[in-house]
Amino acid sequence: MEVKARAPGKIILSGEHAVVHGSTAVAASIDLYTYVTLRFPTPSDDDDTLKLQLKDMALEFLWPISRIKDALSGLGCPDSSTPTSCSIEATKTLAALVEEQNIPEAKIGLASGVSAFLWLYTSIQGYKPATVVVTSELPLGSGLGSSAAFCVALSAALLAFSDSVKIDLNHQGWLLFAEDELDLLNKWAFEGEKIIHGRPSGIDNTVSTYGNMIKFRSGSLTRIKSNLPLKMLITNTKVGRNTKALVASVSERTLRHPDAMNFVFSAVDSISEELSSIIQSPVGDDLSVTQIEEKVEELMEMNQGLLQCMGVSHASIETVLRTTLKYKLASKLTGAGGGGCVLTLLPNRTIVDKVTSELESSGFQCFTAGIGGNGVEIYLGGGSS
């Protein structure tokens, strides 16, 4: 038996950092995906191991099922219908199982993701042999929600072969989950995210699960639907950043300049509210599409200026901004800043070859992505997917 799941990455259209201080943020799914294939062996395979293959990194992890069962069986019976948090005791046990795999020093940052894999797999499927293969179009650690997409796609594949969702296994092609099943899936993915990040906001896994866009403020998530097919050029500066340190630096600046920074956060809130209103507005002829795109461009530019006021830009980000401005394109950083990725709105019929070529010649990595598409899906049946 085999199933493939895919889950999209995400971008923050507006409101990063300010959301920590009570402002509204808007996030959207992008049509760049993480894929997880789950395959159970047949009796004739005589395979009693759990394998995790990270194809993009040429890494494979393997555990005898008996080893996993001995380590985790004291934690109770698996129940796929009840998302369960990983206890401190279980976290230590998982870390020991991962440590046995001798992850290369250069890839040690993957350890928490492998722990999340073990927790989600055993919590949903129990102690069954299987092979799980992971590939991704999302760069790691760049602010595009790669870990959430992994947790969502993995949860989807695992739940597809559980009693907690009703999937037509005779279906051929990509298939969406029912609304209540998405809620369960999202909660499981959030448990995986907690193992990886400690205290995640839940934005990334929610966008990856449901797709389209969400509005987020003070812990409250509201799903919104875009009526405008926006397209973005996403430029990965390949500059790593420390999200916690950047969040702390904004808070410190706020303590030093409370009045000025509160005006900044208020302005960001207005931008997010206007942006969410614009992207939900009805779309008519080409003229109205152009007018909407122009408003989105202006809001992106204003948001970027306010992010610069917060002190979270970076020389690499400024290089991307200058380059895209030469082509009369509006850009802003997305996520924590300090490097990471930059969004550039691509208005209807924009030719991107020249700007992409110039950015790539500066050592950056570029992707073109539609935003606000479907969330997680599974693929059933043979043939190409």
Residues labelled catalytic: 204
Determine phi and psi for 260, rounding to 5 degrees: -65, -45
| Beta strand 49-54 pairing with 130-136 | parallel
Strand pairing of 213-217 and 377-380? Answer: unpaired
Count other Cβ atoms within 10 Å, centred on residue 313.
20
Decide if 235 contacts 320 (C-beta within 8 A): yes
AA identity, residue 327: Y
DSSP string of 84-126, one letter each residue: -PPPHHHHHHHHHHHHTT---GGGGGGHHHHHHHHHHHHHHH-
208/34 Cα distance (integer angstroms): 10
C-alpha closest to that of 337 among 109, 201, 143: 143
Report the distance separating Cα 150 and Cα 64, nearest Å: 23
Report d(CA 322, CA 359) in Å as an integer: 10
Retrieve residue 148's tokens.
């959430």
* One-letter amino acid for residue 180 of the chain: D
The number of residues in the chain equals: 385
How many CA atoms are closer than 13 Å to the CA of 274, on its beta-carbon side?
16
